[in-house]
Amino acid sequence: MRMILIGPPGAGKGTQAPKIKEKYNCCHLATGDMLRAQVAAKTELGRQAKKIMDQGGLVSDEIMVNMIKQELENNKDCKSGFILDGFPRTVPQAEKLDEMLKDKSRPLKHAIELQIEDELLVARITGRLVHPASGRSYHKIFNPPKKAMTDDISGEPLIQRSDDNAETLKKRLGTYHAQTGPVTDYYRTTGIWSKVDASKEPGQVWKSLLGIMEKDS
């Protein structure tokens, strides 16, 4: 599998991608998770990225393209395929990705857009709980952990992301429509673009994704 998941904050990219990874035995590259790992490691990039993420903006194309390039070239799990979650987020990122994959004769098979109205995202984002080490996410109401504030698998504490509040979400959605909207237009005419109704419950969204992905396998 070689695909990208596009969708606004809270659409369900991070919920569905691990299932795709498991089914197709490929890597899951989530640029937001990579940036949060830099923040946790207290690197200079992490320090700069945290400011931008908490303001709902975007980290520079150059940094993000290099980050993905490194992973696609060096991460052994990506040899059999990949799912990109949160990348590309701008048209220049999409163009660079195309170039990168063309050079390696590994073109994308799917660009799937998770479509959902903004109004439904506030509850999803403000109720999300995450396990920082794995990127696993839960929801206080829609997908609660077995034990409050505790990751089901590791037993470690769950946290709320610092950008998961109603005010920052508004800015993230503004950025999404302005910068990432054109990315969906970019793929729409390529023949690899499909859309899924992401307002449905997670099992239904998964079924829709499977329907698209199994067409070519």
Enzyme catalytic residues = 13, 89, 128, 161, 172
Q: What are phi and psi of 182, to 5 degrees?
A: -60, -25
Q: For residues 165 and 2, what is the distance between their CA atoms, to the nearest angstrom?
A: 32
Interaction between residue 21 and ligand AP5 (CB under 6 A): no
Closest residue to bound Zn ion by CB: 14
Of 69-77, 86-94, 95-103, 186-194, which part binds ligand AP5 (CB under 6 A)?
A: 86-94
107 assigned binding-site residue:
no
Q: For residues 129 and 135, what is the distance between their CA atoms, to the nearest angstrom?
A: 10
| CB nearer to ligand AP5: pick between 2 and 139 | 139
Take residue 157 and report the two structure tokens written for it.
């504490």
The residue within the footprint of Zn ion, chosen from 12, 14, 56, 88 (CB under 5 A), is 14
Instruction: Kindly list the distances between the CA atom of residue 75 and the CA atoms of 21, 78, 116, 157, 162, in Å, as whole numbers in the listed order.
Output: 14, 6, 32, 28, 28
The residue within the footprint of ligand AP5, chosen from 20, 26, 27, 59 (CB under 6 A), is 59
Can you tell me which residue has the tokens 């050079």?
103
Interaction between residue 20 and ligand AP5 (CB under 6 A): no
- Using CB under 6 A as the binding rule, the residues of this chain from 119 to 158 that contact ligand AP5 are 124, 127-128, 137-139, 142-143
- Please report, in range form, the residues annotated as the binding site: 10-15, 31, 36, 57-59, 86-89, 93, 128, 137-138, 161, 172, 200
- Please report, in range form, the residues annotated as the binding site for AMP: 31, 36, 57-59, 86-89, 93, 161, 172
Contacting positions for ligand AP5 (CB under 6 A): 7, 9-15, 31-32, 35, 52-53, 56-59, 64, 86-87, 89, 93, 124, 127-128, 137-139, 142-143, 172, 201-202, 205
